[in-house]
Structure 1
């Protein structure tokens, strides 16, 4: 949420080359690709464990309100949804930016606008993607507090 807008600002204010912008975006992308899916999986697993504990017939069920298992399952689904969202909704933009970052000779000032637009598109897509685990967390908090 912070890195890509900062990269775009550097491009515009500090006049970094479009090739550098593409390569820096690639570094941010690779770090996020390695970090975010495991975090989403662990968080979703925790919500699924809570759903399992809150199900009817479990020893903890007497201490929970009916319906909490469904809320925890919803929280898990929203959190892990970043993975299919990335694969389905962001694939085209990600692939285009990765391609630009790999072909430095083809990245020139002439197609700088295209790269900048791809980064802007990625920022928008990533902004929506970041709302999925936030919504999952809010559903989880609602389940705990209700």
Structure 2
């Protein structure tokens, strides 16, 4: 097996693994930290419905920054890993693969499957997560126009206050929903990493 195959396997497998781990981190660590209530002494009982300590306008801004950073990073990692797997599908097109009934009898079908599962990350984002993303973005940017016009400090009426309070409560639930959807999204590149790891092990030890 040539060096090019080994390098491509490494890039494809590790790229998927890093992407999956990074995406999972947002749901496991980032979002729970953002919505954390104010710290209380251990002897004080914290109400189950206590809201985040961070003001909601800044909270949604933090989510938006997290989302934008992720969208600049993880799709690129998945794409890079898929390019490496695409090279493997081409380079190993004439090489017989195990379990022909599952992957079509060649490594091309095997690595094409890895590409499809990995790039499912993007499809999931644009379909299952779209409504949650759009709503959170709308709440996070609701004051952008006023700030641009220099009216950020304007007086807010009771009706507008009630509307904002409703949006704030909605934003908290949306962020929890987003964390769950994002955790599932990580399964796509993780599956690609598992497929890639199996390919490495099969070619190394067989």
Q: What TM-score comes out, normalization by structure 1 length? A: 0.85
Partners of 2:113 and 2:64 in 1: how far apart? 32
Task: Kindly indicate whether the alpha-carbon contact (under 8 Å) linking 1:18 and 1:109 is maintained by their aligned counterparts in 2.
Answer: no
C-alpha distance 14-99 of structure 1, shift in aligned 2 (>3 A): closer
Matched residues in 2 for 1:83 and 1:144: separation? 25
1:141 aligns with 197
**Residue equivalent to 1:132:** 188
For residues 22-101 of structure 1, what are the structure 2 equivalents within 5 Å? 22-56=60-94, 61=95, 66-101=105-140
5+ residue gaps, structure 1: none
The Cα shift of 1:81 comes to 1.2
1:9 match? 36
List gaps (5 residues or longer) in structure 2.
1-25, 39-49, 99-104, 144-155
For the residues of structure 2 that align with 1:86 and 1:78, how far apart are their CA atoms? 13
Distance in 1 of aligned mates of 2:135 and 2:166: 16
1:18 and 2:56 are equivalent in the alignment: yes
| 1:90-109: CA deviation from partner (whole Å, max 9, x where unpaired) | 11000000000001486744
SS of 2:53's equivalent in the other structure is coil
Structure 1 distance, partners of 2:52, 2:139, is: 20
- The CA RMSD measured in Å over matched residues stands at 2.2
The alignment covers a number of residue pairs equal to 141
Given that 2:35 and 2:53 are in contact with CA atoms closer than 8 Å, whether structure 1 keeps it comes out as: no
- TM-score, structure 2 as length reference: 0.62
Question: Structure 1 residue 43: deviation in Å?
Answer: 0.5
Measured in 1, the distance between the counterparts of 2:189 and 2:196 equals: 10
